[in-house]
């Protein structure tokens, strides 16, 4: 049975409750389907009320409509709601095209999976399918209707109001500040749900020393297909490793790309003389490889989306967009730092190490977030200052080893800057951020050395700068006129 189960079903089954709920909330189809089912239920409920309780309903002349009028109302409303639905999808395509060209294609899914977008599509489905089913439920033998006309008009009105609200939602979502903030909040929720809550019970004690096998041989397992490592079922992996009495070493991070035959993980037994063989295919079922990256367990993917927005903004000469993305990156890195400090071990109920993950340090995420931006903006002092400011905020907020990491990258950014600083304000900002980071990291001596070399470099540029060319002919006359004036 397990062999014939589709791969995406296996993937959903392997998820924890929080991961499964997150995946369903992030998909386009569940919520609109729920609204469609509600439309079917509402249509049959109205049918039962209209035809089952009609003799006892007060038939006022204002709310009563005959069959011909009711049929005309429903046929007209069905066409109108369908047109609104078409305009809505057209607007979604416009938004997606704009996002893809102006920002990055990676944010398209974020707009589609946004709860307000899904609710808007669901309400359109509710209105349209209710009116459509109600139209086919009309009975020519019934001369007067009360519930059907009233609810048909209400459904069309709700659809029209929903259309206006959706336009407002799409317009706000396209604003840069809202876009970057939404991506940041979504990423932080993912980090909390999938990397903290689900693995918290398997985290090791911070100060305890754990014993790993030393003498038993290490066996490597290769990937059976190429693609990105999308998901690791840690709970079942730990349970199976405990059952077989071994420790599993993950050789790849979630989000890494593998070719067929590349080493995916290795394992080692605690017992030098095993009694039972290890079914390696069982362990391969706990690691899912696909053709694209996912945000489920890949924190670097969340970082990459904001980084790409900043890079696209720098290329399009949009400094404000780049600055917003850099600030949101700093906030996201601040959240990730809580996960990065964990030891790369996962333990079982007996507090024995069962999984050793490939370590992702704070420096790894800082590099992934800011190094592409610093490289792209190495001639733009304003964007460079925003990166230095973000590193200063991180160093001041986290302190300790994180401050040392921030100083390392701030110093590298300063050394690799190639642009010309035109205004003193920009230079003073740059030096003040460097000074603040070095102070927090305890690197004042390194900062002084950096400033001395900057000063020597500026003096050499002034000495080697070519003198202004002499003025000849009409240029001398024009200069004389300006001086006389």
Average pLDDT of 33-50?
Answer: 91
Average pLDDT of 172-193?
Answer: 83
- Phi then psi for residue 274, to 5 deg, are -70, 150
For residue 413, pLDDT beyond 60: yes
- Phi then psi for residue 264, to 5 deg, are -95, -45
Average pLDDT of 367-380?
Answer: 94
Question: How far, in Å, CA of 217 to CA of 247, rounded?
Answer: 12
* Cα–Cα distance list, 128 to 34, 35, 154, 434 (Å): 14, 10, 12, 60
How does DSSP assign 214-280, residue by residue? -SS-EEEEE-SS-EEEEEE-HHHHHHHHHHHTEEEEE-S-TT-EE-TTSEEEEEEESSSS-SS---H
Residue 36 confidence (pLDDT): 93
Question: How far, in Å, CA of 105 to CA of 20, rounded?
Answer: 24
Residue 123 confidence (pLDDT): 93
Q: For residue range 415-471, what is the model confidence (pLDDT) as tens digits?
A: 999 888 888 899 999 999 999 999 999 999 999 998 888 887 776 666 665 554 554
Domain spanning 214-360, CATH class: alpha beta
Top-confidence residue, 24 or 86: 86
Q: Per the structure block, which two tokens stand in for 384?
A: 């460079």
For residue 82, pLDDT beyond 70: yes
Top-confidence residue, 100 or 66: 66
The residue assigned the tokens 């024995």 is: 352
Domain boundaries, the chain: 7-174, 214-360, 377-455
Averaged confidence pLDDT in the chain: 84
Average pLDDT of 337-360?
Answer: 84
Average pLDDT of 189-217?
Answer: 80
Look at strands 353-356 and 246-250 and give their pairing: parallel
Question: How far, in Å, CA of 439 to CA of 370, rounded?
Answer: 21
Average pLDDT of 340-365?
Answer: 86
Average pLDDT of 27-41?
Answer: 88
Question: How far, in Å, CA of 32 to CA of 251, rounded?
Answer: 40
Q: For residue range 288-335, what is the model confidence (pLDDT) as tens digits?
A: 888 888 887 888 888 998 999 999 999 888 899 999 999 999 999 998
For residue 271, pLDDT beyond 80: no
Residues with Cβ within 8 Å of 364's Cβ and at least 6 positions away in sequence, in order, are 340
Which of these, 180, 165, 294, lies nearest to 228 by C-alpha position? 294
Residues with Cβ within 8 Å of 298's Cβ and at least 6 positions away in sequence, in order, are 230, 253, 254, 255
Residue 14 confidence (pLDDT): 61
Top-confidence residue, 75 or 359: 75
Confidence at 230, pLDDT banded by 50, 70, 90: confident
Residue 328 confidence (pLDDT): 95
């Amino acid at each position: 049975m397990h062999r014939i189960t589709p791969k995406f079903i296996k993937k959903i089954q392997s998820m924890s409750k929080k991961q499964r709920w997150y995946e369903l909330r992030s998909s386009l189809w569940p919520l609109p389907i729920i609204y469609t089912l509600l439309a079917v239920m509402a249509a049959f409920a109205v049918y039962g009320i209209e035809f089952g309780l009609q003799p006892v309903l007060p038939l006022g002349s204002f709310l009563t409509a005959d069959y011909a009028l009711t049929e005309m109302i429903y046929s007209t409303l069905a066409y109108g709601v369908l047109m609104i639905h078409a305009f809505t999808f057209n607007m979604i395509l416009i938004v997606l095209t704009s996002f893809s060209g102006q920002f990055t294609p990676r944010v398209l899914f974020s707009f589609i999976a946004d709860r307000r977008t899904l609710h808007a599509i669901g309400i359109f489905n509710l209105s349209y399918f209710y009116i459509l089913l109600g139209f086919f439920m009309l009975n020519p033998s019934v001369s007067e209707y009360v519930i059907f006309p009233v609810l048909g008009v209400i459904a069309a009105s709700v659809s029209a109001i929903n259309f206006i609200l959706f336009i407002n939602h799409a317009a706000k979502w396209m604003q840069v500040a809202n876009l970057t903030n939404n991506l940041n909040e979504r990423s932080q929720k993912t980090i909390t749900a999938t990397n903290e809550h689900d693995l918290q019970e398997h985290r090791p004690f911070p100060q305890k020393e754990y014993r790993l096998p030393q003498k038993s041989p290490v066996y490597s397992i290769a990937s059976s297909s190429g693609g990105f490592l999308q998901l690791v079922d840690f709970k079942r992996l730990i349970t199976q490793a405990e059952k077989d009495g071994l420790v599993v070493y993950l050789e790849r991070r979630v989000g890494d790309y593998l070719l067929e035959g590349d080493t995916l993980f290795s394992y080692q037994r605690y017992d030098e003389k095993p009694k039972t063989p290890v079914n390696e295919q069982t362990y391969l079922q706990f690691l899912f490889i696909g053709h694209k990256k996912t945000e489920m367990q890949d924190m670097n993917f969340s970082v990459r989306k904001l980084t790409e927005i900043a890079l696209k903004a720098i290329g399009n000469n949009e400094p404000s967009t780049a600055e917003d993305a850099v600030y949101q990156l700093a906030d996201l890195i601040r959240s990730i730092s809580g996960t990065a400090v964990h030891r790369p071990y996962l333990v079982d109920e007996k507090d024995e190490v069962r999984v050793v993950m490939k370590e992702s340090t704070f420096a790894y995420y800082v590099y992934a977030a800011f190094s592409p931006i610093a490289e792209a903006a190495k001639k733009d002092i304003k964007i460079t200052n925003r990166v230095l400011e973000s590193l200063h905020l991180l160093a001041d907020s986290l302190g300790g080893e994180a401050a040392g990491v921030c100083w390392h990258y701030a110093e590298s950014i300063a050394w690799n800057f190639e642009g010309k600083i035109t205004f003193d304000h920009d230079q003073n900002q740059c030096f003040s951020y460097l000074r603040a980071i070095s102070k927090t990291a305890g690197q004042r001596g390194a900062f002084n050395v950096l400033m001395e070399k900057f000063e020597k470099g500026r003096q050499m540029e002034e000495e080697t700068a070519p003198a202004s060319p002499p003025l000849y002919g009409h240029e001398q006359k024009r200069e004389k006129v300006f001086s006389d004036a």
